[in-house]
Amino acid sequence: MNDFTYFAPTKVVFGKGAEGQVGKLCKEQGATKVLVHFGGGSAKRSGLLDRVCAALEEEGLPYVTLGGVVPNPRLSLVYEGIELCRREGVDFLLAVGGGSVIDSCKAIGYGLANDFDVWELFDKKRAAAGCAPVGAVLTIAAAGSEMSDSTVITKDEGELKRGYNSNYCRCKFAVLNPELTYTLPEYQTACGVTDIMMHIMERYFVNVETMTVTDTMAEAVIRDVLRYGKAALEDPRDYRARAEIMWAGSLAHNGLLCAGGPNGDWASHQIEMELSGMFGVAHGAGLAAIWGSWARYVLDAKPQRFAQFAYRIFDLPQTGDPTVDGLRGIEAMEDYFRSIRMPVNLRELGVGELTEEQIDELAEKCTYFGRRTIGQFKVLGKEDIKAIYRMAQ
């Protein structure tokens, strides 16, 4: 068991109509001028943006808006946001959207609080000294950015997708209204469910003696997401299903489910990140397409862990051989992905067959051009990563 620090200070306001409280929540944080940051048109069309702005106006809080965040949010818009906030004297950043919008907000926050090019954080050249305060009105259960310490941004030139982690960027509050996710397309719901699962599994598949209470809570949340993920796809307006997934999404990535372990493995995430950087695929789908190949590749490092997963998540019987049982657990997980119409290889992901040159480029970027290995369950270098891309074809 490892020593750990747990710090998840985000105030979660959960329930129907919760976005109506957003003005009060911003004010509680001392906001005097707010950036309302959002993505495409859906927040506008649904009327959510109007409700959020009305809630700010009710508290007499001036605001400026900045839309246009895309999936795999862009550094160029972050720069634009920083400039806008400086010009307008914004002191609170409100994300209305999913993980991409929240991450874009966090990156703007870093830019405002640090006097150097914000990309240097993502490029691991500098450490942040702070972050302007961010709040979120969540519209998709997926990335967990509403409670996490994580921010992922894509640099437009070179399609470099990079993450930066620090407690500074943890949201001050997160408004979680499950009804806001009723209208999500099926594919996005399934991608979100996958992303949530993966946030837990990245923490679960680690190669140290873990804490029992953390393991069993993680297993409880995984089972919950499996169950209600299917239910939400069957009936998109199932409040319970949407609520369970939404709360699970926050729990999955706020640090609770790695207490007593290392911070997680994250190899699947890092291998996927290069795919969505290069091909613009949806992050959740990319994870589903990669995970099985990663799992088979690393299985022998600790087959017992995959066997435990098989028994406790899928109630599979014990054959006496943890490698056999672990493999069955991996297959059961892939079956689940298939059942929610997620891809389990790159072909199904729509990326097509990769050339050896592409595989080499992806792996090279994934190692930060030779500056790092990835993974904790099994430490992976460039050749390992290439092998996993090949297996995932």
Residue 244 engages its own copies in binding (rule: CB under 8 A): yes
CB 157 within 8 A of CB 116: no
Residue 228 engages its own copies in binding (rule: CB under 8 A): yes
* Distance in Å, CB of 375 to its own copies, minimum: 24
SS3 assignment, position 259 = coil
CB closer to its own copies, 211 vs 324: 211
Q: Residues 171-210: x/- map of binding to its own copies (CB under 8 A)?
A: ----------------------------------------
CB 275 within 8 A of CB 293: no
- Please calculate the CA angle 284-104-233 and round it to the nearest 5 degrees: 30
Amino acid at 131: C
Please state, in angstroms and rounded to a whole number, the distance separating the CA atoms of residues 139 and 246. 9
Residues 138-167 close enough to bind its own copies by CB under 8 A = none
* Distance in Å, CB of 11 to its own copies, minimum: 4
Distances (CA, A) of 304 to 119, 215, 318, 353: 40, 14, 11, 33
* Distance in Å, CB of 308 to its own copies, minimum: 14
- Of 152, 206, 259, 392, the residue at the interface with its own copies (CB under 8 A) is 259
**Distance in Å from the first CA to the final CA of the chain:** 37
SS3 assignment, position 319 = coil
User: At residue 137, what are phi and psi to the nearest 5 degrees?
Assistant: -110, 110
Residue 391 engages its own copies in binding (rule: CB under 8 A): no
CB 136 within 8 A of CB 176: no
Residue 361: count other Cβ atoms within 10 Å of its Cβ. 14
- Of 223, 230, 296, 390, the residue at the interface with its own copies (CB under 8 A) is 223
Kindly indicate which of the ranges 2-10, 43-51, 299-307, 351-359 contains the residues binding its own copies, using the contact rule CB under 8 A: 2-10
Helix axes 382-391, 283-298, angle to 10 degrees: 110
Residue 233 engages its own copies in binding (rule: CB under 8 A): no
CB closer to its own copies, 78 vs 226: 226
* Distance in Å, CB of 66 to its own copies, minimum: 28
- Of 30, 58, 124, 239, the residue at the interface with its own copies (CB under 8 A) is 239
Closest CA to 313 of 290, 344, 336: 336
* Distance in Å, CB of 383 to its own copies, minimum: 36
CB closer to its own copies, 5 vs 355: 5
- Of 32, 76, 216, 318, the residue at the interface with its own copies (CB under 8 A) is 216
Distances (CA, A) of 331 to 120, 291, 294, 391: 40, 11, 12, 15
Residue 7 engages its own copies in binding (rule: CB under 8 A): yes
Residues 17-56 close enough to bind its own copies by CB under 8 A = 18
CB 167 within 8 A of CB 130: no
92 DSSP assignment: E
* Distance in Å, CB of 389 to its own copies, minimum: 34
Residue 237 engages its own copies in binding (rule: CB under 8 A): no
- Of 19, 219, 325, 384, the residue at the interface with its own copies (CB under 8 A) is 219
Q: Which helix (H) or strand (E) holds 138?
A: strand 134-138
SS3 assignment, position 340 = coil
Residue 256 engages its own copies in binding (rule: CB under 8 A): yes
CB closer to its own copies, 7 vs 116: 7
Number of residues engaging its own copies in binding (CB under 8 A): 38
- Interacting residues toward its own copies by CB under 8 A: 1-9, 11-16, 18, 211-213, 216-217, 219-221, 223-224, 227-228, 239-240, 243-244, 247-248, 251, 256, 259-260
